[in-house]
Copies of this chain bind each other. A is one copy, B any other.
Amino acid sequence: MKEIGKRAKNASRQLARAKTDEKNRVLSLIADELIAQCDRILRENVKDVEAATVAGLSPALIDRLTLNESRLNGVAADVKRVASLPDPIGETFDHTTLPNGLKLYKQRVPLGVLGVIYEARPNVTIDAASLAIKTGNAAILRGGSETLNTNRALIQVAHHALESNQLPVTAIQFIDDPDRARVAELLALHDYVDVIIPRGGAALHQFCRDNSRITVITGGIGICHLFVDDSADLEKAVEVIHNAKTQRPTVCNALDVVLVHRAVAANFLPRVVARLAADGVTFRVHESAAAFVAHSSAASAGEKDFDTEWLSLVLSLKVVDDLDEAIDHIAQHSTGHSDGILTRDDDRANRFIAEVDSAAVYVNASTRFTDGGEFGLGAEVAVSTQRLHARGPMGLRELTTYKWVGVGEYHVRK
């Protein structure tokens, strides 16, 4: 593993110098070859799917690791899109000339070596490789053991594209050993790896943090709240809640908890329950809201139900006395991902923006917008819920750092 780290570090120096055109040519070739080699890749994927079926993996998991022509075309299209995005590397900013005449600016450079640890979905292999290449970073990929055959085929495509453009194949290395000990070894490569990006559940994030000195990009876990103020347009508020809960319930920016101002609870809660229950949503109802919800889909909530990311058609409901109680509840229970207020009161909106400390804070909008694509970043590496380096949706720029450049005329410090 140490050799893998060293090779990655060396490759990162070469990739950092690659021109935008070169990197885009690699990405185009990857996209083309994914389509050209579709049959071969799908044959390898069938092996993984069969093994997963024999091993008795859940249908949901098997679905996640299954590729087909349409999904592979989607992956190829994503790579083309990354190729079409502006290259952040080399960009200069914060130009200034000091009083002594020294010219100073910052220049965007790659982070160095990314360690990406992920689970079933094989599209992450190409996704991570293409984002790394575009941003001039080397990457060490550790995919799930249940997609080893698929990942090998995909990595071949990436390596072929690098080689064809005279770039080192060691820029994208894949840990081709299902032994879990390799993960711990990857996490120990602090001399070579600059950042660890886990793409998986809370347990994986926790494991990475506990076992590495390397900075870990934590995120993707959202217990998301909407607070319905008594000044809100209640009809529109029902639709925003419906969207945030049901448009794609399995993702991190889907809604988990609705807090309703006491003054409108009796009017609002029955409407929201009726509208969402019709689409299969069930409810966990705090005692404060119990009097207003008498629906067959509703059950009494325990306190844990306000600390759960549902990832399904379940919604927790609570009545609060005012904005203060809503803000306090969010401070106590939110994972700092996406939280919003529905209101017509500007002062309350501004207090909510100022006092709710989440990666994304909304006024009169669905929590579902927290996404690199929606935010116009073009690509998304992760949604960070940590505070340092980057917060919220991370695009290409967030896979970079900067150096300071000082240009003088034999300047000396007085």
Q: Which of B210, B233, B363, B392 lies in contact with A408, CB distance below 8 A?
A: B363
A residues 228-253 in Cβ contact with B at 8 Å: 233, 236-237, 239-240, 242-244, 247
A residues 78-110 in Cβ contact with B at 8 Å: 90, 96, 98, 102, 104, 107, 109
Distance between Cα atoms of A109 and B391 in the complex (Å) = 11
Distance between Cα atoms of A144 and B210 in the complex (Å) = 28
Distance in angstroms from A14 CB to nearest chain B CB is 10
Q: Which B residue sits closest to A232, measured CB to CB?
A: B410
Are the CB atoms of B406 and A388 closer together than 8 Å? no
In the complex, chain B residues whose CB is within 8 Å of the CB of A111:
387-388
Distance between Cα atoms of A408 and B233 in the complex (Å) = 13
Scoring A residues 363 to 381 as 1 if CB is less than 8 Å from chain B, else 0, what string do you get?
Answer: 1111011100011100000
Interface centre among A102, A244, A387 (most CB of B within 10 A): A387
Are the CB atoms of A403 and B358 closer together than 8 Å? yes
Q: Does A407 contact B (CB under 8 A)?
A: yes
In the complex, chain B residues whose CB is within 8 Å of the CB of A340:
406
In the complex, chain B residues whose CB is within 8 Å of the CB of A96:
376
Main secondary structure of the interface of A (DSSP, over half): mixed
Are the CB atoms of B365 and A408 closer together than 8 Å? yes
- Interface size grouping (class) on chain A: 35 or more
In the complex, chain B residues whose CB is within 8 Å of the CB of A389:
388-389
Are the CB atoms of B365 and A410 closer together than 8 Å? yes
Distance in angstroms from A278 CB to nearest chain B CB is 17
Q: Does A362 contact B (CB under 8 A)?
A: yes
Scoring A residues 57 to 95 as 1 if CB is less than 8 Å from chain B, else 0, what string do you get?
Answer: 000000000000000000000000000000000100000
A residues 386-410 in Cβ contact with B at 8 Å: 386-389, 391-393, 401-410
Are the CB atoms of A410 and B375 closer together than 8 Å? no
Q: Which B residue sits closest to A327, measured CB to CB?
A: B13
Q: Does A361 contact B (CB under 8 A)?
A: yes
Are the CB atoms of A370 and B411 closer together than 8 Å? no
Are the CB atoms of B112 and A387 closer together than 8 Å? yes
Q: Which of B190, B368, B391, B401 lies in contact with A391, CB distance below 8 A?
A: B401
Q: A215-B386, A247-B413 are in contact. List 15 more A-B contacts (CB 8 A).
A: A16-B357, A209-B213, A210-B213, A233-B410, A236-B410, A239-B410, A240-B410, A240-B412, A242-B412, A361-B403, A362-B406, A362-B408, A365-B411, A370-B404, A391-B404
